[in-house]
């Protein structure tokens, strides 16, 4: 049963907005798991995403196992590489980097992941990942060797998202990049949302409750926030249930 995706679809149908807290195993101290996850549990967060651009082997699996002991929220892998796939999570965003033209990130890594996924219990959610420029070079750009889409080229961004949907992808993720200086504009989010029938994820550079609400108002169904919590856990106080 595809429970994680079904829950996202139900939320979209009911106008319930979703929030994922992103934990990058490379930047997170495992000793801080319990207090951090307690804050997540008291907040409006609905999902935990785990992943990063460069993560040591096994770090993801160890971290997911520990997180699981402290929360009932679904844990969704948001992997930068095949090595970050672990059965301990609930679901996997099977990401294809639609904004780039590097075949390795469009299909190559996916083929390499198959042997790891053959007998998996992970719910695999095909996701179109679209990186949009945000003022500085992001880790995704460096690691994938691709350029982000230009923020003023809205028609091209919309067409790219729509092409992903036509290919059968079940989610579209609009990404400004981790720690982005500028979060995505309401206009980009609104135009993409209007063109899509699948749920829309938005992330990158969101650091305040106002920015979060703006992303929701523009049409984001699920917002991902990582850096703001890494920099200051007091941000959870603004997001208490």
Residues linked to residue 43 through DSSP beta bridges, in sequence order: 240
Nearer to ligand 1GP, 148 or 204 (CB): 204
- What's the closest the beta carbon of residue 148 comes to ligand 1GP, in angstroms? 12
Rounded Cα distance between 92 and 78, Å, is 7
Residue 82 Cβ, how far from ligand 1GP at the closest point, in Å? Answer: 18
Contacts of 187 (CB under 8 A, 6+ apart): 154, 218
Angle between the 209-218 and 186-195 helix axes, to the nearest 10 degrees? 30
Find the binder of ligand 1GP among 130, 224, 236, 239 (CB under 6 A): 224
Residues 184-213 that bind ligand 1GP (CB under 6 A): 203-206
179 near ligand 1GP, rule: CB under 6 A:
yes
Residue 53 CB, nearest approach to ligand 1GP (Å): 8
Instruction: Judge whether 79 and 95 are in contact, CB under 8 Å.
Output: yes
Which of the ranges 36-44, 80-88, 146-154, 172-180 carries the binding residues for ligand 1GP, by CB under 6 A? 172-180
Q: Which stretch binds ligand 1GP (CB under 6 A): 10-18, 62-70, 123-131, 225-233?
A: 225-233
Options 28, 178, 191, 192; binder of ligand 1GP; rule CB under 6 A: 178
| Binds ligand 1GP by CB under 6 A, chosen from 175, 196, 218, 220 | 175
Tell me how far the alpha carbon of residue 12 is from its chain's centroid.
16
Task: Assess 228 for contact with ligand 1GP (CB under 6 A).
Answer: yes
C-alpha 147 chain-centroid distance: 19
Distances (CA, A) of 154 to 48, 64, 93, 193, 221: 29, 36, 24, 12, 19
Element (H, E) at 23: strand 18-23
Binding residues for ligand 1GP, per CB under 6 A?
22, 175, 178-180, 203-206, 224-228
């Amino acid at each position: 049963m595809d429970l994680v995706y079904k829950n996202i679809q139900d939320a979209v149908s009911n106008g319930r907005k979703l929030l994922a807290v992103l934990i990058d195993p490379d930047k997170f101290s495992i000793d801080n798991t319990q207090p951090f996850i307690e804050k997540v549990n008291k907040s409006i967060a609905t999902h935990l995403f785990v992943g990063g651009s460069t993560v040591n082997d096994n770090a993801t699996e160890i971290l997911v196992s520990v997180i699981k002991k402290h929360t009932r929220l679904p844990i969704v892998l948001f992997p930068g590489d095949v090595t970050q796939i672990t059965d301990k999570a609930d679901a996997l965003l099977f990401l294809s980097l639609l904004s780039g033209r590097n075949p390795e990130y469009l299909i190559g890594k996916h083929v390499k992941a198959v042997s790891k996924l053959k007998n998996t219990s992970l719910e695999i959610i095909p996701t179109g990942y679209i990186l949009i420029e945000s003022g500085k070079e992001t880790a995704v750009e460096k690691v994938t060797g691709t350029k982000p889409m230009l923020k003023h080229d809205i028609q091209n961004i919309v067409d790219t998202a729509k092409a992903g949907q036509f290919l059968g992808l079940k989610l579209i993720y609009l990404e400004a990049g981790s720690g982005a200086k500028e979060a995505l504009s309401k206009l980009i989010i609104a135009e993409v949302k209007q063109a899509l029938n699948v749920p829309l994820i938005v992330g990158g550079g969101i650091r305040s409750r106002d920015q979060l609400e703006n992303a929701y108002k523009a049409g984001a169904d699920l917002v991902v926030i990582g850096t703001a919590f890494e920099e200051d856990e007091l941000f959870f106080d603004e997001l208490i249930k």
